[in-house]
C-alpha cells in the first residue's frame, strides 16, 4: 500500500500537473470504485483544480466550488499520467480522469477491488474521510509521546493505526522500528522516555529519507515505480536476508495477508517472536532465540 512517502510524491507530481487546470470528466470502469453518492461525480466536471493534498494515505484534489475528489489506493492501486486517453481494456484499469492538459488513470493489480473514490463537499466532508491520526512529521516529541501512550498497543499496531498516526503502514513501520532498535511487539505504555525519543527520531528520519529518495527517483516524471518492496530497505520484505546493521538473518511474523520483518539481534535481544502459523504447528519445538534457531539449522 502506498504510504506517506509514496503518497507525498504522488501529490507533488499531481499538483505540478493539474493545479490551475480544469477537470473535464471521469470514466469509472469498476462499479465498486465510487463510494459516495452526494454530491454526484458529475458535479465535479468542468471545475478548476485549486489544490492537491495528502489526507493520510489518500490523495485529495480540491476543485472550485468547495468540492473534493478523494482517492484511496488501498493495497494495489496505482496512478499513471499521460497526454493521451488511456486504453481501458486491461482488467487492471479501474478509472480515467480527464483534465484539460492530460489524463490521470487508476489501475489496481489482483482480483480484489479495494481502491476507492469519494466526492465530498467542504472541509467538513474532507474530515469525514480522515481517520484523525497525528501527522508524524509535524508533531513534537512531547506530542508524539502523548499520542503513543494514549492507548496500550504494540508498537507495530500503534504506528500503523491511522487513528493514532497518519500515513504509516506495514512497510515503513518495519523500517522505523529497525532504525529505532525496538521490538514490533513492545507495548507502548512500557516504553521509556529514551526509547520514545529514539522512536520519534527514527520515524522522522525514515519518512524524510524515503520521501527524498522517491522524489529523486521520479525526477520530473510521474512516479511509476511505487512499490512496498524495495531492495534498499533495511528489513521490510527481506526475510532470511542479512541485517544491514549486524548481519544476522532477518526474521518475520506472518498474520493474515501481512507480515512484520525484524532483526532479532538488533530489536528483540536475540529472542524470536512467535510466528502464528509456525509456532502453532511446532509448539514446544518452536525455537525461542536466534542462536537456538541457527543451532537447529546446523544439525
Q: What is the largest CA-CA distance in the chain?
A: 70
219 Cβ partners below 8 Å, 6+ apart?
Answer: none
Characterize 267-277 residue by residue with b for buried, 16 or more Cβ atoms within 10 angstroms of its Cβ, and e for exposed: bbebbbbebee
- Is residue 170 within 8 A of residue 1, CB to CB? The reply is yes
Please report the domains of the chain, with CATH numbers, ordered by start residue: 4-127 (3.20.190.10), 141-297 (1.10.8.50)
Residue indicated by cell numbers 526475510 = 239
Whole-angstrom distance, CA of residue 66 vs CA of residue 25? 17
Contact between 144 and 115 under an 8 Å Cβ cutoff? The reply is: no
Beta bridge partners of 77: 108
CA 189, 191, 194, 199 torsion-angle sign: negative
Q: What is the pLDDT along the chain (299 residues), one digit of tens a residue?
A: 899 999 999 999 999 999 999 999 999 988 889 999 999 999 999 999 999 999 999 999 999 999 999 999 999 999 999 999 998 888 899 999 999 999 999 999 987 889 999 999 999 999 999 999 999 999 999 999 999 999 999 999 999 999 999 999 999 999 999 999 999 999 999 999 999 999 999 999 999 999 999 999 999 999 999 999 999 999 999 999 999 999 999 999 987 678 999 999 999 999 999 875 544 433 444 455 555 545 444 44
Q: What is the pTM of this model?
A: 0.91
- C-alpha 202/C-alpha 177 separation (Å) is 7
Amino acid at each position: 500500500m502506498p504510504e506517506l512517502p509514496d503518497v507525498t510524491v504522488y501529490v507533488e507530481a499531481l499538483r505540478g500537473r493539474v493545479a490551475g487546470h480544469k477537470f473535464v470528466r471521469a470514466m469509472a470502469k469498476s462499479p465498486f470504485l465510487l463510494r459516495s453518492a452526494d454530491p454526484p461525480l458529475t458535479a465535479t466536471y468542468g471545475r478548476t483544480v485549486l489544490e492537491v493534498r495528502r489526507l493520510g494515505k489518500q490523495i485529495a484534489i480540491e476543485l472550485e466550488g468547495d468540492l473534493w475528489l478523494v482517492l484511496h489506493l488501498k493495497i494495489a492501486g496505482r496512478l499513471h499520467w499521460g497526454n493521451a486517453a488511456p486504453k481501458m481494456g486491461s482488467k487492471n484499469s479501474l478509472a480515467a480522469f480527464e483534465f484539460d492538459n492530460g489524463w490521470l488513470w487508476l489501475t489496481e493489480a489482483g482480483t480484489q477491488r479495494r481502491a476507492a473514490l469519494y466526492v465530498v463537499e467542504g472541509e467538513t466532508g474532507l474530515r469525514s474521510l480522515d481517520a484523525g491520526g497525528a501527522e508524524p512529521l509535524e508533531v513534537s516529541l512531547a506530542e508524539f509521546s502523548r499520542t503513543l501512550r494514549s492507548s496500550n498497543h504494540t508498537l507495530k499496531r500503534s504506528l500503523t493505526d491511522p487513528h493514532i498516526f497518519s500515513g504509516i503502514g506495514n512497510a515503513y513501520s518495519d523500517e522505523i522500528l529497525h532504525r529505532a532498535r525496538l521490538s514490533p511487539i513492545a507495548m507502548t505504555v512500557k516504553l521509556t522516555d529514551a526509547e520514545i525519543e529514539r522512536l520519534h527520531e527514527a520515524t522522522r528520519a525514515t519518512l524524510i529519507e524515503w520521501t527524498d529518495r522517491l522524489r529523486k527517483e521520479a525526477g520530473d516524471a510521474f512516479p511509476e515505480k511505487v512499490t512496498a518492496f524495495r531492495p534498499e530497505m533495511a528489513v521490510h520484505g527481506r526475510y532470511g536476508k542479512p541485517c544491514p546493521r549486524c548481519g544476522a538473518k532477518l526474521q518475520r511474523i506472518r498474520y493474515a495477508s501481512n507480515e512484520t520483518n525484524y532483526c532479532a539481534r538488533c530489536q528483540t535481544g536475540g529472542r524470536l517472536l512467535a510466528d502464528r502459523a509456525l509456532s502453532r504447528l511446532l509448539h514446544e519445538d518452536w525455537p525461542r532465540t536466534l542462536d537456538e534457531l541457527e543451532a537447529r539449522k546446523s544439525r
